[in-house]
Amino acid sequence: MRQLLILLLALLVFQGKSQYVNGTVYDESGETLPGVNVMVKGTIDGVTTDLNGFYSIQTKDENATLVFSFVGFETQEVKVAGQKIVDVVLIGGVKLQEVVITAGGRRPDKRALNYSLAQMSISDAIFIENERYHNTEEYATIHENGFKKVLDEALSTFSIDVDAASYSNLRRFINNGQLPPKDAVRVEEMINYFNYEYDDPKGDDPFSINTSVAKAPWNKDHLIAQVGLQGKKIDLKELPASNIVFLLDVSGSMSAPNKLPLLKSAFKLLVNELRPQDKVSIVVYAGAAGVVLEPTDGTDKKKIMEALDALQAGGSTAGGAGIKLAYKLAKQHFVEGGNNRVVLATDGDFNIGASSNAAMERLIEEKRDEGVFLTVLGFGMGNYKDSKMEILADKGNGNYAYIDTMKEAKKVLVNEFGGTMFTIAKDVKIQVEFNPAVVQAYRLIGYENRKLNNEDFNDDKKDAGELGSGHTVTALYEIIPVGVESEFVKDIDPLKYQRSGGVLEASTDELMTVKFRYKEPQGTSSKLIAHVVKNNVGKADQNLQWSMAVAGFGMMLRESEYRNDLSYLDVLNLARGSRGVDEFGYRAEFIELVELTRSLHKEQQ
């Protein structure tokens, strides 16, 4: 008993040492520095300073050491020593090379940049990887889904999406004191960043189907219907052997602290998850592509990590050659019935070789049909090519995540290792038929670039999204019931050659029917599942309430015409009421992000 009391007292003392450390980072001229990496030494805990150079980080030890790093400045280590406020002045010591953006690409200028980085606007020019870049980030244009009249278009067909890159990327913008570009906001990826408490699958199908209906929080006359899939959770010991090729961008554009250094640390987390039956190869590309690690057993983690540690950034980006070499290596060591996968890590800035989106798309489509899947991990800022990364993942039977911190790396590569690396169902398509007796109009929230033609649903040659072990997928429909007057329901002129507006006799007990098609990971023929959603409007459960909060936040960021009078406070109230268990703190972080965005929005008005 005495020993137990001593142990409890020791735990209380240890917990009492945990504290938040705040401070501001300056350069030698007294200007504040935004975007400085602040890490707790020996851990994966880290933050970046905001536009005012301010940071706040939690330490579990009052004697912890903080590491401050920023391109163009000497890295500093500072012991906390019980202090709650630690201000730091970074010393400029790294001369940067200027790269001027021209119509034909980048032209290097060997002049050293000796002026303060803080004198530059973070939105106009971002200093990274020993070069100066104008902000050339690229995002595909998104035209938000509008309402469809059921009598004109009763079917809605789309591919599932388990990517979550948009959420972590927009988080990076907000944490740097900026609202993200509207086209960087993909609402479905925000929703699917989070896991939901859906029922586990039963029977032979690899996922369960979960649906619910409630009032829309941004329009009391509208409904929200949620469709959720829960992938089967397979024990890692039972998953097939893996043949994984790391394809790593080591070009000059990857030398910033939040690129190659972060990449190397992140991949070490993945290496620690490897099993004896798994094999890893490493292919790198810069001015040319090459193999730096032949297939190595998962037990030889030291050898794999030494190969990662030896990587250095420099040269241009032969992305096309790198992808070809990685797939060639994956095919040479192909594991029948196993998990054959290329893991591409890059900022997406391919500028030599097969670099156009169309050429990359054709290459990836060709290789996915040979049984090698693709995971894409994005890094960095300033020249980030989101549109290209998304295309590669979509066409490569894979998934896409953006790694901005070691915490995000742990989420993607450790906490969700099975879902990221192991596919349990491919070409998963959803088709919803709405009952015109009760539904006047509907709109799919998000999934703008995942929509399919209705005839694609039954076409097994048509590619669609993949579901990983333990993954959840959530989709929301906003519904205008029959009899509700709405500015979003537009009439068209009567048709001359066919009848329109006719309603078949249909029961009012059913709201809609949801159909799913999927293939086994190695299969070529799809299986069909149908699920009827009853016309029962109830109180939103925790799953639906949380997904509506996230969707509402996305609508606010996109300034959606459908958000009505929704406010950030409404989003916060929804989120706080449905936070749930939140094992890893992802939902708490979302709430903080909404609060910060609310402040940013006020500042910019």
Residues 433, 568 within the same domain: yes
Distance (Å, whole) CA 403 – CA 377: 7
| Domain shared by 118 and 158, yes or no | no
Q: For residues 432 and 567, state if they share a domain.
A: yes
Closest CA to 200 of 578, 470, 420, 475: 470
Going by C-alpha positions, the residue among 256, 263, 260 that lies closest to residue 126 is: 256
pLDDT in tens, 568-595: 999 999 999 999 999 999 999 999 999 9
pLDDT score, position 1? 52
More confident position, 552 or 605: 552
Per cent of the chain over pLDDT 90 is: 57
Whether residue 359 sits in one domain with residue 219: no
Q: Are residues 169 and 280 in the same domain?
A: no
134, 160, 176 — which closes off a domain?
Answer: 134
* Reported confidence tier of residue 194, pLDDT bands at 50, 70, 90: very high
pLDDT at residue 94, as a whole number: 46
- pLDDT above 70 coverage of the chain, percent: 85
Q: Give yes or no: residues 373 and 445 share one domain.
A: no
Is 304 inside a domain boundary? yes
Residue 51 has a pLDDT of 64
Q: Which of 134, 166, 198 is the last residue of a domain?
A: 134
Q: Using CA atoms, how far apart are residues 449 and 187, in angstroms rounded to an integer?
A: 11
Q: What is the pLDDT of residue 490?
A: 83
Q: Is the pLDDT of residue 400 over 90?
A: yes
* Dist CA 298 CA 300 (whole Å): 5
Which pLDDT band holds residue 458 (cuts at 50, 70, 90)? very high
Q: What is the pLDDT of residue 169?
A: 95
Q: 447 and 509 share a domain?
A: yes
Span 432-457, mean pLDDT? 96
In terms of domains, do 254 and 353 share one? Answer: yes
Written as six digits, the tokens of 79 are 């012991």
CATH of the domain at 216: 2.60.40.1230
In this model, does residue 436 exceed pLDDT 90? Answer: yes
CA dihedral of 566, 571, 572, 576, whole degrees rounded to 10: 140
Instruction: Classify residue 581: in a domain, yes or no.
Output: no
> What pLDDT, in 10s, does the model give residues 69-103?
876 678 899 999 888 889 999 887 544 333 332 22
Q: What mean pLDDT, rounded, does the chain reach?
A: 84
Does residue 302 belong to any structural domain of this protein? yes
Quick: pLDDT tens for 225-274: 999 999 999 988 888 999 999 999 998 888 888 899 999 999 999 999 99
Q: What is the pLDDT of residues 39-53, one digit of tens each?
A: 888 887 778 787 678
CATH at residue 89: 2.60.40.1120
- Residue 407 belongs to a domain: no
Give buried/exposed letters for 61-80 (b at 16+ CB in 10 A, else e). ebebebebbbbbbeebebeb
Q: Which pLDDT score is estimated for 30?
A: 79
Per-residue pLDDT band at 54 (split at 50, 70, 90)? confident
- pLDDT tens-digit readout, 123-159: 333 333 333 345 788 899 999 999 999 999 999 999 9
At which of 99, 134, 169 does a domain end?
A: 134
Q: Sorting pLDDT into bands at 50, 70 and 90, what band is 27?
A: confident
Burial level of 121, CB count in 10 A (0-12/13-18/19+)?
exposed
How confident is the model at residue 600, as a pLDDT? 85
pLDDT at 508 over 90: no
Could you tell me if 77 and 129 lie in one domain? yes
User: CATH no. for residue 372?
Assistant: 3.40.50.410
| CB hemisphere CA count around 457 (13 angstroms) | 19
> Does one domain contain both 327 and 378?
yes
Which pLDDT score is estimated for 110? 32
Confidence of residue 105 (pLDDT cuts 50, 70, 90): very low
Residues 253 and 379 in one domain: yes
The boundaries of the domain holding residue 251 are 238-387
Q: What's the pLDDT tens digit per position in 297-329?
A: 999 999 999 999 999 888 776 677 888 899 999
Q: What is the pLDDT of residue 208?
A: 94
The Cα–Cα gap between 258 and 177 comes to 17
367, 301: one domain: yes
pLDDT over 60 at 121, yes or no: no
- DSSP conformation letters of 150-206: TTT--EEEEE-----HHHHHHHHHHHTT-PPPGGG--HHHHHTTS---PPPP-SSSS
In a domain, 524, yes or no: yes
In which band, very low, low, confident or very high, does the pLDDT at 504 lie, cut at 50, 70 and 90? low
pLDDT at residue 11 is higher than 70: no
Q: What is the pLDDT of residues 462-486, one digit of tens each?
A: 999 999 999 999 999 999 999 999 9
Residue 184 is predicted with a pLDDT of: 96
Domain contains 547: yes
Instruction: Answer yes or no: is 542 within a domain.
Output: yes
Query: Number of folded domains in the chain?
Result: 3
Tell which wins on pLDDT, 189 or 97: 189
In a domain, 279, yes or no: yes
Strands 399-402 and 373-378: parallel
